[in-house]
Amino acid sequence: MKLTARDLISVGIFTALYFAIVFIFAMVGFLGPLAMFIGFGIGIILDGIVVALFVVRTPKLGALTLLGGINGILLIFSGQTWLVVPAGLICGFLADLIVTRGDPARLPRRIPWAYAVLVVTTVVPLLPIAFDSQAYFETTAEQMGEDYAAAFAALMQAWVLPAWVIISFVLGLIGGHLGVRVSRKHFERAGLV
């Protein structure tokens, strides 16, 4: 199935909602580096509702790829690395494959897995730490202050990035399951899906 004009409108609306939740909960990071991860976690869980509803409305190949790519572009405008765009496109495409392959009746079981793959992209803005941590923390110090950068550098041990991949995947599963439950309970009853 090809994406229609209506599907593309849905992509725009749901990408805006998805990004708004990401952005709002990323703001929690102003409280401190640990709070940033807490904000990301809450955002991941809540965005599961947005993605579940989006997938139920637009279960077509390319929909999550576009969401991931557009979200990556928006993240660049918020100061993130350019790597978020290819990561968003790749993870979005993999999520699309999970959603669109198989029996449509089993879609609710596939949504959490697709979403968990999609949200692995939350580690990408932190990848520059692995390649050039000094430059990353210098930029952080310029933007957030020396104390924040020092606390962030102390928090970002070698194990944190791989752990965040696993944690974001698990939170994606939780958010995806929550999204499926909420979409069944509220949105089907309201006739929105």
Only one residue has tokens 């509702």, namely 49
pLDDT of residue 174: 98
pLDDT at 189 over 80: no
Q: Where are the domains of the chain?
A: 5-190
At residue 104, the pLDDT reads: 85
Which pLDDT does position 191 carry in this prediction?
Answer: 56
How confident is the model at residue 51, as a pLDDT?
A: 98
In this prediction the pTM is: 0.92
pLDDT for the residue 49: 97
Q: Which residues contact 167 (CB under 8 A, 6 or more apart)?
A: 41
Q: pLDDT (tens digit, 9 = 90+) per residue, 1-26?
A: 799 999 999 999 999 999 999 999 99
Instruction: Work out the end-to-end distance of the chain between its first and last CA atoms, rounded to an integer number of angstroms.
Output: 18
Distance of CA 32 to the CA centre of its chain: 20
- Average pLDDT of span 48-61: 95
Q: What is the mean pLDDT of residues 83-110?
A: 94
Average per-residue pLDDT for the chain: 93
Q: What is the mean pLDDT of residues 80-106?
A: 95
CA–CA gap between residue 182 and residue 72 (Å, rounded):
26
pLDDT, position 186:
63
pLDDT at 106 over 60: yes
Q: Residue 184 has what pLDDT?
A: 83
- Distance from C-alpha of 67 to C-alpha of 62, rounded to nearest angstrom: 9
Q: pLDDT for 154-178, tens place per residue?
A: 999 889 999 999 999 999 999 999 9
pLDDT, tens digit (0-9, with 9 covering 90-100), for 112-127: 999 999 999 999 999 9
- In the predicted structure, residue 188 carries a pLDDT above the cut 70: no
135-144 per-position pLDDT tens digit: 999 999 999 9
Split at pLDDT 50, 70, 90, the class of 40 is: very high
Beta-carbon contacts of residue 22 (< 8 Å; ≥ 6 apart): 43, 47, 71, 75
What is the reported pLDDT for 102?
Answer: 87
